[in-house]
Amino acid sequence: MAPLLVAALFYTFTMPKLTLNSTTYTNQAGDTVLDTLLANQVEIPYACQQGSCQSCLIRSPEQAPPEESQKGLKETQRARNFFLACQCHPSEDMALELDSNEQPFVAVNVISITSLNEETIELIIQHPSDFIFHPGQFINLRRQDGIIRSYSIANCKNTDNTLELHVRKLPDGDFSTWASDVLKAGDTIEMQGPFGDCFYIQDDPEQPLLLIGTGTGLAPLAGILQDALAKGHTGPIHLYHGSRDLSGLYRIDELRTLASETSNFHYTPCLSGTSEHGEFKFGRANTEALKDFPELKNHRIYLCGHPSMVKSAQREAYLSGAALHQIFADAFTVNNPNE
Amino acid sequence: MSDSLYEKLGGEAAVDAAVNLFYRKVLADDRINDFFDGVDMESQLAKQKAFLTMAFGGPNNYTGADLRTGHAHLVERGLNDSHFDAVVENLGATLTELGISDELIGEVVAVCEPTRNDILGK
């Protein structure tokens, strides 16, 4: 039988079911996932319908989508089973997720709270044993009164099932002040996640990595760094951690020790607000890093912290030759004017 | 039947080769880069790819009305003929760098020209 005819028969007899928010839709032969959802009046953003604008990005959390529907996506998005609905001709049943904010919150225990410096605390919580995450992703924490804040995961999966989060105490920060002054070991708090595409993927262990962060942007970078080293990354890893003054840096000694013991890891703490920078590099972390690495064609870059730093560093890195899909960014937006 | 402009330029592979070169030129061009401040770079790159596909005479779903509404906020900020010309100039420079003949570049420019009035809201 001619291959084309076999394919036609195959499509005729295969009508996969798509499930979204507990409703099931039948995907007619030849239709894309987008066609099916639109035909059933599901509200989904879309535009070009040819796989370039990425408006119809959707996720199939439980099983890998067809490869052709992931063309042009970031490695980390592929790893989390994101795909383009307009490019997906499903061959089997799929469970779909449009908005990951619909994930449930679960109550978790606070294990410890310790000070990292004047303005930052380390919050350790215990996650459910079936919680799967990539270090560098973030979770949402919800207080009893409903206030929600996002924090990045700074550690790899461990046998105690704990997550390490870095919380910056903002001057009028409702949540952060409460977390540092009221919350204590043994308390419970609600957690949701994980979210985000800023994490390590081992597709090229020799690729040079450039990690740039300000303030608690060190949290996801610390997670990414540990993950890369644990997975045997051999390419050079440069970490630039910056702050205006010394009170914004932390883990300095630990990172220096790690750099002295790890031949491919290099650590450059930067201070931008004081001319008395002593043993630290004087300048902004992103500016100094991009000065040290004017050619980024083969690099993978991680940018975490202040949104304006992330935005300008992304642009500069791209203009220095980095491919846009090799730039992973996590901009920490402040949730409300008081926080 | 002779090849279409899109096929002569090398189709999707040519768009992929050109898009980053082109977008970097646009971002580095002080005459026009203010218009790109604060935009999401990844979705912008996707749009640049769609634009190049169109300019290369390839398959696209864009209509004059799309181009009009999509650029209206930029027209309000002062987008005019000089900016349109600068973009076309960057496109030409990109294609020259990729070794495309002047004749084919002329055809690409000719494809872009009819979008001028829609983009500038005239």
The whole-number pLDDT of residue A247 equals 87
pLDDT score at A338: 36
Over pLDDT 70: what percentage of chain A?
92
A304 three-class SS: strand
For A307-337, the pLDDT digits (tens) are: 999 999 999 999 999 999 999 998 887 654 3
The answer to whether the CB of A122 falls within 8 A of the CB of A114 is yes
Q: What is the pLDDT of residues A65-88, one digit of tens each?
A: 999 999 878 888 898 899 999 999
Higher pLDDT, A338 or A19: A19
Q: What is the pLDDT of residue A339?
A: 34
In chain A, which residue's Cα lies nearest the Cα of B26?
A319
> How near does any CA of chain A get to the CA of B22, in Å?
11
Q: Give me the pLDDT at residue A92, please.
A: 87
> What's the mean pLDDT when you consider all of chain A?
90
pLDDT of A13 reads: 55
Cβ contacts (< 8 Å) between B61 and chain A: which residues?
Answer: 48-50
Distance, CA of B21 to CA of B26 (rounded, Å): 9
Candidates B29, B39, B45, partner chain A, best to mutate (most A CBs within 10 A): B45
- pLDDT tier at A18, thresholds 50, 70, 90: very high
Residues belonging to chain A with any Cβ–Cβ distance to chain B shorter than 8 Å: 48-50, 52-54, 72, 311, 314-315, 318-319, 323-325
Q: What is the pLDDT of residue B77?
A: 93
Subunit contact B42:A54, Cβ cutoff 8 A: yes
- The 10 Å Cβ neighbour count of residue A131 is 16
Q: What is the pLDDT of residues A134-185, one digit of tens each?
A: 999 999 999 999 898 999 999 999 999 999 999 999 888 899 999 999 999 9
At A29 the pLDDT is 84
Nearest residue to A39 via CA among A26, A53, A29: A26
Nearest residue of chain B to residue A307 (CA atoms): B38
Q: Which residue of A has its CA nearest to B28?
A: A319
Q: Which residues of A touch B20 (CB under 8 A)?
A: 323-324
Positions of E strands within A220-312: 237-243, 265-271, 281-282, 300-305
Q: What is the pLDDT along chain B (122 residues), one digit of tens a residue?
A: 468 899 999 998 999 889 999 999 999 999 999 999 888 898 888 888 888 998 998 887 777 788 899 899 999 999 999 999 999 999 999 999 999 999 999 999 999 999 999 999 99
